[in-house]
Amino acid sequence: MTHQNDNTSANKVWFITGASRGFGRVWTDAALKRGDKVAATARTLSSIADFKEKYGTNVLTLELDVTKPDQVKTAITKAHAHFGRLDIVLNNAAYGLIATIEEASADDIRALYETNIIGSVSVIQAALPLLRKQGWGHILGISSNVGHVTLPVIGYYASSKWAFEAIHESLAAEVQSFGIKVTIIEPGAYATEFGSPDSLKFASGLAIYEEFKTQFLNGLQTMERGDPAATPGAIFKIVDAENPPLRFFLGSNSLPWVRSTYAERLATWEAWESVSIEAQGNLVKNNQF
């Protein structure tokens, strides 16, 4: 099957994880509506069966738990063989953890990272040999504005997104020469199902933090949220761009927040710069890494 890779055209082939709800569902439906083809994945096929009924042969539905590397590799291979190529690999499967730093158990943290980090890496590692061979591809990693800043009570979730950002930034430099592009999508607060039991886990709580967490969660509930249905156009502009950005804020609230946070960080680093310089000591030549 021959294919002229034209970044400005529609008729792309997507591989999307977490297609059953939230942004994954919205973007799967929107891509299919515009005439693209999608390999849509979810942990249960029944949760995405409606795509097959609605879009027929333009969609391939696959069962996928990203914490199972063998299943990831099988799904990627099937999708590539079925459509003959993969233009966009969208890493969307993730969940949040509500816990103070003291409350979360090692098992809570491991489970979070198994999905949010190791699962995403499994998708990337399974897709890269195929994308390299075809000579193009665009990996979209769905991060968050808390990939730059953090808040109490969601520190472990935010830390998974900080790691996610670092991995994708390194990846972008490593695969550029193969014709593969990488974009980190960083949504702000949206009215998705992210707060549902499937997308949000709670660690066993300690009474001493109960009031603090209640106030924090009440604050989150009153936060202004964006409309998920307004987002597909922005995603299409990213995937259709000749030179897509490495990072992209989805929504209007993130940039002002991150701008002020980085201004504070820079001010602190600069205030302590003389101490930093003092700690450098005399320059030493050292060829060891």
List active site positions. Answer: 143, 157, 161
Burial of residue 263, with CB atoms counted within 10 A of its CB: 0-12 exposed, 13-18 middle, 19 or more buried: exposed
Between the alpha carbon of residue 34 and those of residues 42, 65, 228, the distances in Å are: 21, 27, 17
Question: Which is nearest to 165 in space by CA: 98, 236, 247, 260?
Answer: 247
Between the alpha carbon of residue 101 and those of residues 109, 156, 261, 288, the distances in Å are: 10, 7, 21, 36
First-last CA distance in the chain: 45
Whole-number Å distance between alpha carbons of 109 and 153: 13
Whole-number Å distance between alpha carbons of 117 and 145: 16
Instruction: Give the CA count within 13 Å in the CB-facing half-sphere of 217.
Output: 14
State the Cα angle at 24 between 34 and 52, rounded to 5°: 60
Handedness of CA 122, 51, 80, 240 (dihedral sign): negative
Q: Are 220 and 153 in contact (CB under 8 A)?
A: no
Q: Are 185 and 143 in contact (CB under 8 A)?
A: yes
Q: Are 51 and 32 in contact (CB under 8 A)?
A: yes
How many CB atoms neighbour CB 5 within 10 A? 13
